[in-house]
Chain A
Amino acid sequence: MDRRSFLKVIGSGVAGAAGGSLLAPRRTLAKETFSEFYGILVDTTRCIGCRRCELGCAEVNGLPLPDISELKNETVLKTLRKTSDIQYTTINRYETEKGTFFVPRRCMHCNQPGCVAACPVKAMRKRESGHVTWDVNCIGCRLCMISCPFDVPKNEFSKAFPRIQKCNLCYDRFNKGEMPGCVEVCPTQALIFGTRRQILEEAKRRIAANPDKYVDHIYGENEVGGTSHLYLSAVPFEQIGFRKDLGTVAYPEFSTGFLYAVPFVFVLWPIAMLGMNRGTKKEDGEAKEEHSGGHEDKGKH
């Protein structure tokens, strides 16, 4: 092997290794801070379906105010609604054998959100306080929508300058020391806000104190690696619109397998190919090493 080719091989290998390690996802240790994740505990046995949370949310976020009069509620609650680009939270009504239950759904603020892992420009971020927020450097690729197991992020398709809209746990209000808009206005305290540790304790306390009232499961404790929105229910969760097949693996783990293979490919592929290229080289004088296109008359065929 001559000097030039040696340098080429080494160069490619180093470039590959460097590039690969640059692109490999890093598991950085969290800084030693004292902030905890905050979240909301939703007790569906307390929700009366008044939809004031929808109104409160719309008020604090500058969204169109929903009509929550009784007459309107009666028609609106007949169909199951999803959140949308102008509504960050919705109440749905479910008839079960234990009675009628109302369930507010919104972003679950997962501990390890799929949307945050999916975002190529870190527009979706998980803040230290647990809030998952969207920012304006978003490029609108909508991979966050694909990656969310709860189908939460909504794109403003109707706009020329679309944003991704979803509940952000009132991050701005939190920084001012205020409660999220929905928690503030709930008349029956079906929503309570606190650190994830606190609300998890409270949820467990409620189940232990009222074993016949609640199903012994906190939705969001372990689902998709844990979320900051926890739910309590009196009936099995499938009956009130929750998916039970999401597993307990955090969603970013699904793509780490591939991402971890990247540095290997970056290092091994060039080496293997250059090796093959050198290995198939015919003796000098009989053939040329590199040529690019064009017809080569070897007189052999």
Chain B
Amino acid sequence: MAGEKLETVAVVEQKEESPKIKSVADFLDFIKKELKPRGNIATPFNIISLPIMLIGYVFIVLRLVFGLGRPITNLSQEYPWGLWIGFDVVTGVAFAGGAYVLCFIVYVLRVEKYHPIIRATVLNGFLAYCFYAGAIVLDIGRWWNIYNPMVGNNFGVNSVMFLVAWHFFLYMMAELVEFSPAIAEWLGAKKLRKILSGLTIGAVVFGITLSTLHQSGLGALMMMAKSKIHPLWYTQFIPILYFVSSIFAGLSLVIFEGSISHKVFSHQIDEHHHKQYDEILVGLARICSVVMFGYFFLKILLVVHEHAVKYVNSTMGFWWLLEMIGFILIPCFIFMRGAQRKDKGLIKLAAVLTIMGIILNRLNYTFIAYNWYVPLTERYWPSPVELVITASIILTEVWTFRWMVNRMPVLKEPPAWAKAMDRH
């Protein structure tokens, strides 16, 4: 059964010439021109998202003025980490894992099939890290000291957080280098683009190494919370679980976000690419299902290894089963089915379920299965301010993504001179 019907659209020809920027004045003019909005401003999406974003910015100022206490956040001494760390940073970074997985597939293993989506994925990853680093600045209590781990006001080398901070920083640089050829193309800087393309493989290798470590590092942060995390979730191998789950988390988000982008920016993509995208979806679904299957069994193995099977017969056990079966096993099978039948609808459904599952998993480690024995009155649930700020961060990221995709060769073809450069 075929999936959705594709609309044939005319391919937008690269009408604009590459800008010739020779001086700072030229550059400023160019930027001014680019900042002008393109297309309809009063779309439903804009009308809904803009107020949220503006309120979010006001809330951000309030947070900086008043600190993290109630009513800004619902953080407490029992739950020092809440939505911002749990969702924005940890889950967001897991989702941004699509970048390194796809870079590995495309650049290291040289599987050309996935080439068309690599730029969008890397851009997404880069923006994700940028914005989630911003979320970190918001969340830490003494944000004016945030440069301390970087400048060396005492390197706390025993700390996983130190490692994660540095990796975030370096990885952002690496992704910037990976994406920079597109920026160079946008600016029309030919020489720059040549140099930057040469750096790509180095940046990719560096980026994948860093990704491995900080994806697992986010898990390692919780290693010392052994007495507070429920035994069904806590194992000595949490970092490995985080790393493996980041693979299919990232790919699921690629599927999810890619489907939306392909609809929204369909005018930038030609028919050939649309068809390719279907094959890409199937390929990604296959990868996800295999990794999820492995992850499922890895989790079971670890629970048995830690002698935690007896906890399955309890309330937390039910919650664990819900996560395992409902959000790992079932999407795994739906992915398999969708890949078998080349059914885009099924694949997208599985991607959504996986995304929900990853959010659940990461939030479990942060405040649901963390300090799980605390009475209801002291429990944590996100405050409205936290939710609005999170929403505004995500929406700002989406707006930035949209701005960049509409102007830079992310989904659309690069300029002719860039293609020519690649052929030599």
Contact = CB atoms under 8 A, between A and B. Distances in A.
Interface of A: 8, 12, 15-16, 23-26, 82, 84-85, 114, 116-123, 137-143, 145-147, 149, 151, 154-163, 243, 245-247, 251-252, 254-255, 257-259, 261-262, 265-266, 269-270, 273-274, 276-277, 280-282, 288-296, 298, 301
Contacts of B297: none
A151 B78 contact: yes
Interface residues of B, number: 85
A117 B159 contact: yes
Contact of A288 (B208, B273, B422): B422
A157 B68 contact: yes
13 contacts: A8-B201, A23-B166, A139-B142, A139-B149, A140-B143, A145-B77, A160-B65, A161-B142, A251-B224, A273-B204, A277-B205, A290-B198, A293-B182
Interface in B71-124: 73, 75-78, 80-81, 104, 107-110, 112, 115-116, 118-119
B181 interface: yes
A46 to B, nearest CB: 28
B321 interface: no
B143 A139 contact: yes
Contact of A143 (B159, B166, B410): B159
B213 A265 contact: yes
Contacts of B157: 23-26
B109 A295 contact: no
B400 interface: no
Contact of A255 (B223, B409, B414): B223
Interface in B151-204: 153-163, 165-166, 178, 181-182, 196-198, 200-202, 204
A211 to B, nearest CB: 31
A141 B161 contact: yes
Contacts of A15: 206
A164 B159 CA distance: 17
Given A161-B67, A288-B422, A254 B146 contact: no
B149 A120 contact: yes
Interface stretch (B214-222, B285-293, B335-343, B384-392): B214-222
Contacts of A277: 107-108, 110, 201, 205
Given A146-B225, A157-B68, A265 B209 contact: yes
B145 interface: yes
A160 B66 contact: yes
Given A145-B80, A162-B141, A117 B224 contact: yes
A25 B140 contact: no
B395 to A, nearest CB: 26
B273 A143 contact: no
State the main secondary structure of chain A at its contact with B. loop
B81 to A, nearest CB: 7
B413 A118 contact: no
Contacts of B422: 288, 291-292, 294, 296
B209 A266 contact: yes
B208 A137 contact: no
A161 B81 CA distance: 17
A176 to B, nearest CB: 25
A146 B413 contact: no
Nearest to A267: B209
A225 B121 CA distance: 46
Contacts of A293: 115, 118-119, 181-182, 409-410, 414
A267 B73 CA distance: 41
A122 B152 CA distance: 10
Which 9 pairs from chain A and chain B are nearest by CB?
A140-B141, A147-B224, A122-B154, A140-B142, A120-B162, A293-B119, A158-B69, A142-B80, A258-B220
B142 A138 contact: yes
Given A82-B77, A259-B158, A291-B422, A273 B208 contact: yes
Contact of B163 (A23, A252, A296): A23
Contacts of A246: 227
A25 B158 contact: yes
A12 B222 contact: no
Contacts of B104: 273
Contacts of B109: 276, 280
A11 B182 CA distance: 26
Contact of B239 (A140, A258, A276): A258
Contacts of A123: 154
Contacts of B205: 12, 269-270, 273-274, 277
Nearest to B141: A140
B148 interface: yes
Given A269-B208, A276-B109, A293-B119, A255 B220 contact: yes
A292 B200 contact: yes
Given A137-B148, A149-B227, A295-B273, A269 B142 contact: no
Interface string B371-402: 00000000000000000000000000000000
Given A8-B202, A140-B142, A293-B409, A151 B224 contact: no
A87 to B, nearest CB: 11
Contact of B161 (A120, A149, A162): A120
B201 A139 contact: no
B209 A159 contact: no
